[in-house]
Structure formats: structure tokens, C-alpha cells
Amino acid sequence: MNAVIIYDNATDNEEIRYGWGFSCLVDQRILFDTGEQADSLFHNMKQLHVDIDQIEAVVISHDHWDHTGGLWALLNKRNRLPIYACPGFSAEFKQKVRQCKGTLIEAETYKDIDEGVAITGEIPGEYNGAFMPEQALMLKSGKGITVITGCSHPGIVTMIQTVKRFYSDTQIPLVFGGFHLMNTKPAAIRRIAASMREIGVEKVGPTHCSGHEAQMIFKEIYGDDFIAIKAGHALEI
Ligand SMILES: [Zn+2]
Ligand SMILES: [Zn+2]
């Protein structure tokens, strides 16, 4: 399997635009999140030779503009595309998906999208004191379950523990995406990184809203098992 980072806060590729948000394409056909700006999303897809017509489904991690921003223009090009959402997303989001002629699929819990790809379903979370449910993407390979997160508002450790409930004796070779630790104190970030090691997360790629400080701490704790993730990067899973 492979994953291409379509949208992120950073890039090291001149041809690729960076912007606040996250989007990742798995095996050229399952899109996880859509970044903030549709024009940047499409620009990067073009540069990365993504065929929009080959996208089979979109998974939205959570109902925040920097993850849903490109969805509406994508639905404009691709009517009836299945959109995997959580039941707790806002009524506005669900209504807009229907208005834009997407096929809304709400997952309360674990759901297979196809043989190698599944979602956790809704994990309760919080953002600025308000309810913000979120789901993660799980990629099944010979190495175990790779987890991709949007912002991790429920907490990155809670998200991984949820994955572990579905696959108790599987390896977790890699977790990447937004860990949302921008406003978390260094000591707490260290505890989180240590818990992830303890749970058995082999490699980490904190990006998007993880924060610079968290990236430095994860790099220190994970050493060679820290993966720098930026828009335009491709990963073999
Ligand atoms: Zn975000
Ligand atoms: Zn968010």
C-alpha cells in the first residue's frame, strides 16, 4: 500500500503548495481529509499525478474547516462519492454533503471500507470546550495496522487505544497525521510520546497541528523511528 500527503502545513517541494490543514491519499483511491483550500488541494493533486476520477471514497476525520475545505469542490466534480463521516458531525456538515450530492455514510464504530482500509468510527473528543468527535483511518498491511489521524482532538493516545481495541494483538508500525499538541506543555508531550512507545507504536510522523515542540520531542524520543511528514511526500505502508 502507499499513502501520498496531498495537503499539509509544510512542504519541502517547490511544486507543492502548503497550507493549514491535512489530506492524504491511500492507494490512489481513498482520500482522507481534504485540507482547507480546494485550489491548493487540486493543484497538489495535479502535481502528484492524482487522477480525481479514480478516487473511490472520502473519509473525513472531523468536522473542521481545515479538513473539510476541499470537499465541496471535489463533490462538485464527483457527484455521489461516498463520504464517511461520524454521526456526531454538525447538521450543517451533513446537510452540505447532501446538497453537494455526496453519499453520506455515518459510522458509529469500526467499519471496513475495503479489504485493506478501515475506519475507527466516532471517537468522542473536544475542541475549545465543545464536542468534537473524530475518526482515524486504519491501513492493514503485513506489518500491522498503520493509523492516520486528522487532528486527534480526542487525544492521540485515546485514538491509538481505540485502534488497539479493534486489533488487540497487532503491531502498529506507524502513526502519522495531526496529533494536536500545539498548546500542550513539554512534560505532557513527553508522557504522551512515552505512552505511545509503551503501547507499541513503532514509528511516528506527527504533522499538521502537532506543533513544532511536539515534533522535536517525538524526534528525540523516537530517534530514527521519527518520520518527517510533509505535503508531497509518499510513504510505502
Ligand atoms: Zn486540523
Ligand atoms: Zn481540528
DSSP code per residue over 164-218: HHHSTT--EEEEEEE---TTS-HHHHHHHHHHHHHHTEEEEEEEGGG-HHHHHHH
CB 59 within 8 A of CB 31: yes
Distance between Cα 200 and ligand 1 center (Å): 25
CB 85 within 8 A of CB 93: yes
Distance between Cα 227 and ligand 1 center (Å): 19
Distance between Cα 224 and ligand 2 center (Å): 28
Ligand with smallest separation from the Cα of 67? 1
Ligand with smallest separation from the Cα of 125? 2
Distance between Cα 185 and ligand 1 center (Å): 19
Would you state the pLDDT for residue 147?
Answer: 98
Run means of pLDDT, 10 residues per run, the chain, 237 residues: 98 98 98 98 98 98 98 97 98 98 98 96 96 98 97 98 94 98 97 97 98 98 98 97
Distance between Cα 185 and ligand 2 center (Å): 19
Counting every residue, how long is the chain? 237
Distance between Cα 209 and ligand 2 center (Å): 8
The three-state DSSP-derived secondary structure of 14-81 is CCCCCCCCCEEEECCCEEECCCCCHHHHHHHHHHCCCCHHHCCEEECCCCCHHHHCCHHHHHHHCCCC
Would you state the pLDDT for residue 141?
Answer: 95
CB 44 within 8 A of CB 70: no
Task: Please give the domain boundaries of the chain with CATH numbers for all domains.
Answer: 2-236 (3.60.15.10)
Ligand with smallest separation from the Cα of 208? 1
Distance between Cα 212 and ligand 1 center (Å): 14
Distance between Cα 4 and ligand 2 center (Å): 20
> What is the rounded CA–CA span in Å between residue 133 and residue 125?
5
Nearest of 132, 128, 221 to residue 183 by alpha carbon: 128
Distance between Cα 35 and ligand 1 center (Å): 8
Q: What is the 8-class DSSP label of residue 134?
A: B
Distance between Cα 220 and ligand 1 center (Å): 24
Ligand with smallest separation from the Cα of 64? 2
Distance between Cα 80 and ligand 2 center (Å): 25
Distance between Cα 63 and ligand 1 center (Å): 9
Distance between Cα 208 and ligand 1 center (Å): 7
